[in-house]
Amino acid sequence: MTDLLRCKAVIFDFDGTLADSMPFLEMIGVQIFMKYYGVTKEDAIQRYRSTTGLPYEHQIEMNFPNNGKNKDATEEFEHLKIERIFEQELFPETEKALKELESKKIDVFVSSSTFQPTIIKYFEKRGLSHHFKEILGYRPGFEKGADHFNHISDEHQISMKDVVFVGDSLKDFERSQGFCRFIGITGIFSQEDYRNKGHSGCVVNSIGEVPRHLEAV
Ligand SMILES: [Mg+2]
């Protein structure tokens, strides 16, 4: 049985959805939690995963509210991330999926918690920028979710009822609620995790499965 979602545009999360960057990001994110806050590795992993999908500075603030070390910890994470993010590969099926969506005449956007110049450069380096109508990254006050969705709706005159958001985290699902339909990708989270969170819609195992669930309106 295939859920078929009719839409005009699809918005992809970046880390863990288009790019296979989560093992790297989790590794440095957990390292920072252990180094700055003295938590065990198991505790750090649990704290990282329960907030993944958010900008790292928010992950820190949610786990260690008002801690004086938060600014330094965030800076070190972002420094470690920028050093190696461009080495992180796309998933093997990502480019094919983008081409399939192009042939289906479905517009493609990126909405990410990674800084915008970083993602733009990432796709430029790989010669893939042309696949995207717009790439939206994080800056304080302009986040994945409501800010990005409202921007896409206003700037591109696309109703959110004609949009599907694809992400790999429970936070991504939360952020789609009240805006648009959602496809969850398994990896960090299982189908059961999405169901427990209240997502009754489409869940896939990889980016390569996404196009077959989408058809242009
Ligand atoms: Mg993600």
What is the CA(62)–ligand 1 centre distance, in A?
17
Q: Is 51 exposed, middle or buried (0-12, 13-18, 19+ CB in 10 A)?
A: buried
CA of 140 to the centre of ligand 1 (A): 18
Residues sharing a CB contact under 8 Å with residue 72, sequence separation 6 or more, in sequence order:
36
- In the chain, where do the E strands start and end? 5-7, 9-12, 107-115, 134-138, 163-167, 181-185, 203-204, 214-216
What is the structure's pLDDT at 66? 97
pLDDT at 89: 97
pLDDT of residue 203: 97
Q: Give, in degrees to the nearest 5, the angle at Cα 122 between 78 and 125.
A: 140
Residue 162 CA to residue 174 CA, distance in Å, equals 18
pLDDT digit string (tens) for 54-69? 999 999 999 999 999 9
Residue 198 DSSP symbol: T
Distance, CA 170 to ligand 1 centroid (Å)?
Answer: 9
Taking only the tens of pLDDT, the chain with its 217 residues reads 567 999 999 999 999 999 999 999 999 999 999 999 999 999 999 999 999 999 999 999 999 999 999 999 999 999 999 999 999 999 999 999 999 999 999 999 999 999 999 999 999 999 999 999 999 999 999 999 999 999 999 999 999 999 999 999 999 999 999 999 999 999 999 999 999 999 999 999 999 999 999 999 9
Q: How far is the CA of 172 from the centre of ligand 1 (A)?
A: 7
pLDDT of residue 1: 55
Ligand 1 centroid–CA 74 distance in Å is 18
CA 15 to ligand 1 center in whole angstroms = 4
